[in-house]
Amino acid sequence: MLTRLCQLSCKRFFAAYLPIAAVTGLGSVAINNFELRRIGLTVAFSEVQKLKTMASVEETVIVAEAAEAAPAPEAAPVEAAAAPKEKKERAPKEKKEKPKKEPKPEQGDGKKAAGGDAKGLGLKNGKKDNFGEWYSELVVASELISYYDVSGCYILRPWAYAMWEVVQAWFDKRIKQLGVQNSYFPLFITEDVLNTEKDHVEGFAPEVAWVTKCGNTTMEKPIAIRPTSETVMYPYFAQWIRSHRDLPLRLNQWTNVVRWEFKYPTPFIRSREFLWQEGHTAFATQEEAEREVLDILELYRGVYEDLLAVPVTKGKKSKKEQFAGAFYTTTVEAYIPETGRGIQGATSHCLGQNFSKMFNIQFEDDDRQKQYAWQNSWGLTTRSLGVMIMTHADDKGLVLPPRMAPKQVVIIPIPKANTAPEMVQAMMDKVAELKEALEKQDVRVVTDTRNNYTPGWKYNHWELKGLPLRMELGPKDMDNGVVVLARRDTGAKETVAWADVAARVPVLLETIQADMFAAAKARTATCTEVCHSFEEFMTALNNKHMALTPWADEEAIEEEVKKKSTTPDAMGAKTLCLPFEAPELPEGTKCFYSGKPAKNWALWGRSY
């Protein structure tokens, strides 16, 4: 009898299981064979089908036999005992899905997240252990980019593009206050026009991509895809500028450019196509042009330090490093301590009259004399996002400065499995109320009310995406009329009454912004060494530091230093800039490398 009952239990399992397997659309034979192996049976699939059809008939027979072989009071418990066993097996599964205890590990030091987990949360690589792999993993895992079929090109996903829009809005507003207008010029440049300025085109020649075919037809003249737009725009400046009354002409365009770089493509930092703004202006006098160069450079400092919370050094590029064809180039330079590399943040060029002479951009002054215009160009790219990511992110994911974050606060309700429906609804109503109150204070808020993810999973998800502030609302918080705020940058938590949330959150976001900049500045401040000899210089580089040196300001010396500082494991160093803020240079100070009289201080480093 017991044998027959066991057989019937198997048949009930097959009868119940087969329809489920069919619903999954995974192929009944393979699935059933797999399941049969798992439970240790050797029944062929055809036999399973027979068992399924026979189950209902034999069930009636066996139950009848059981009723005859045992007293009636004992027969009922057999059936009753089977059902509770099934319920007891399912109950623990429901308990395992309860998410309430999962947030606790997330408040630690992030080591668990750095190693990833069974659910695929967190990062597998650590920032200090393997910076390159960490960065490559991070930009994909945090949903910033996806890799594209063309090497060196990347898809900017909405989370990344929203950050670029924050930069656009901030910068666009301020250049318009200076009198700059937006415009758009074509992507293509004829070969003749591109070759107009010899030094300029030589500087970009290795990076220029050319269109040589249209369909199956070879084009009579190849057309370049713009690496920058001086040669696209300036022929039309020459048409539009006739008199001093036409000046200043101040244009900007938000666009993409293509530079077919082959060395070390890195998302945001070095790619073959990238987004940027490029400003092009013309003035009647040198004084006006040079004033704008510094005005724009100060705005670039503001983008990095006030928005991205990244400290930068303002300075002038050496002749060797300045923009091709420029009179001089100014720059803001950032530094990544983990890699020991500098990175050019943005540049503002005074072009002098070089391009106006090449393109014949002349105007008639008050005395009706022909004069060449003084010109500038300046640009900021999506590289800025990469610098921010490298500076602030950690082993848990992105850490976004509040002013840059597409969403600044995520509100996560935490109902328990046994929370009454009316209490759950009250919690959701409170979430909506808090969101509305914060949005009235211009706080960018997202709510995560998804019920198919645990709170712990949600915490990991939003930490990976770098949201500055998490707001938790659980049953106890509902009873006490409070929320819990958790900072992404430090992990610190605080409890805030509902009535104070709208006032507290904006203040806390500004505190986070300031704290992130201060922390980054403190890290960078320890990465500069003053060097008076080449030996000290190499020690600084090997320490992954920048070197501030007295320098004779000669291109030949710079080239020698770059070659001599190259090692089997690292590239050579170059001048990052001649910083505007530097120590006084005492008379008689010698160049750290050549021993010649030093003309200025130079900031050197290995760089991206």
Segment 75-103 mean pLDDT = 43
Contact 311, 521 (CB under 8 A): yes
pLDDT in tens, 463-493: 999 999 999 999 999 999 999 999 999 999 9
CA 46 to CA 29: how far, in whole Å?
Answer: 9
Segment 318-342 mean pLDDT = 96
Report the DSSP pairing between strands 341-352 and 374-381.
antiparallel
Query: DSSP letters along 472-488, please?
Result: EE-HHHHHHTEEEEEET
Instruction: Give me the pLDDT at residue 202, please.
Output: 72
Higher pLDDT, 77 or 563: 563
In the chain the first and final C-alpha atoms are separated, in Å, by 79
Phi and psi, residue 340, nearest 5°: 70, 35
CA 197 to CA 208: how far, in whole Å?
Answer: 15
Instruction: Give me the pLDDT at residue 181, please.
Output: 98
pLDDT band at 194; cut points 50, 70, 90: confident
CA 388 to CA 267: how far, in whole Å?
Answer: 13
Question: What integer best gives the mean pLDDT of the chain?
Answer: 85
pLDDT band at 329; cut points 50, 70, 90: very high
Instruction: Give me the pLDDT at residue 42, please.
Output: 39
Angstrom CA distances, 443 to 160, 168, 412, 437, stand at: 19, 19, 16, 9
Lowest average pLDDT, out of 85-94, 422-431, 453-462, goes to: 85-94
Amino acid at residue number 189 = I
According to DSSP, the residues that pair with 604 across neighbouring strands are 547, 575
Residue among 511, 514, 273, 489 nearest 397 (CA): 489
Peptide bond into 105 cis (omega under 30): no
pLDDT of 419 higher than 70: yes
Contact 591, 598 (CB under 8 A): yes
Lowest average pLDDT, out of 85-94, 212-221, 337-346, 563-572, goes to: 85-94
Residue among 288, 279, 399, 421 nearest 347 (CA): 279
pLDDT of 81 higher than 60: no
Q: Given CA atoms 88, 89, 91, 95 in this order, what sign does their dihedral have? A: positive
- Per-position b or e across 45-83, b if 16+ CB within 10 A of its CB: eeebeebbeebeeeeeebeeebeeeeeeeeeeeeeeeee
Higher pLDDT, 113 or 431: 431
Contact 257, 227 (CB under 8 A): yes
Residue among 174, 186, 557, 608 nearest 384 (CA): 608
pLDDT of 198 higher than 80: no
pLDDT of 83 higher than 50: no
According to DSSP, the residues that pair with 530 across neighbouring strands are 548
pLDDT of 312 higher than 80: yes
Task: Report the SS3 class of residue 14.
Answer: helix
Instruction: Give me the pLDDT at residue 199, please.
Output: 66
Q: How many CB atoms lie within 10 A of CB 500?
A: 11
- Per-position b or e across 181-196, b if 16+ CB within 10 A of its CB: eeeebebebeeebbeb
Higher pLDDT, 586 or 38: 586
Per-residue tokens: 401: 């400065």
pLDDT of 435 higher than 60: yes
Q: How many CB atoms lie within 10 A of CB 203?
A: 17
Query: DSSP letters along 204-237, please?
Result: HGGG-EEEEEETTEEEEEEEEEPSSSHHHHHHHH
Contact 380, 303 (CB under 8 A): yes
Peptide bond into 415 cis (omega under 30): no
Instruction: Give me the pLDDT at residue 121, please.
Output: 65
Per-residue tokens: 402: 């509040």
Per-residue tokens: 241: 């500028």
Instruction: Give me the pLDDT at residue 122, please.
Output: 78
Instruction: Give me the pLDDT at residue 355, please.
Output: 94
Residues 6 or more apart whose CB falls under 8 angstroms from that of 102 comprise: 454, 455, 456, 457, 459
pLDDT of 25 higher than 50: no
CA 261 to CA 278: how far, in whole Å?
Answer: 19
Tell me which H or E stretch contains 554.
none
pLDDT of 30 higher than 80: no
Instruction: Give me the pLDDT at residue 18, please.
Output: 43
Instruction: Give me the pLDDT at residue 200, please.
Output: 63
Contact 597, 552 (CB under 8 A): yes
Phi and psi, residue 57, nearest 5°: -70, -50
pLDDT of 21 higher than 80: no
Contact 126, 134 (CB under 8 A): yes
| Whole-structure pTM value | 0.80
Q: Give the single-character DSSP code of 304.
A: I
pLDDT of 603 higher than 80: yes
Helix axes 286-302, 158-177, angle to 10 degrees: 140
pLDDT of 282 higher than 80: yes
Report the DSSP pairing between strands 370-372 and 249-258.
unpaired
Higher pLDDT, 132 or 59: 132
pLDDT band at 554; cut points 50, 70, 90: very high
Instruction: Give me the pLDDT at residue 201, please.
Output: 67
pLDDT of 445 higher than 50: yes
Contact 293, 349 (CB under 8 A): yes
Contact 14, 45 (CB under 8 A): no
CA 243 to chain centre: 46
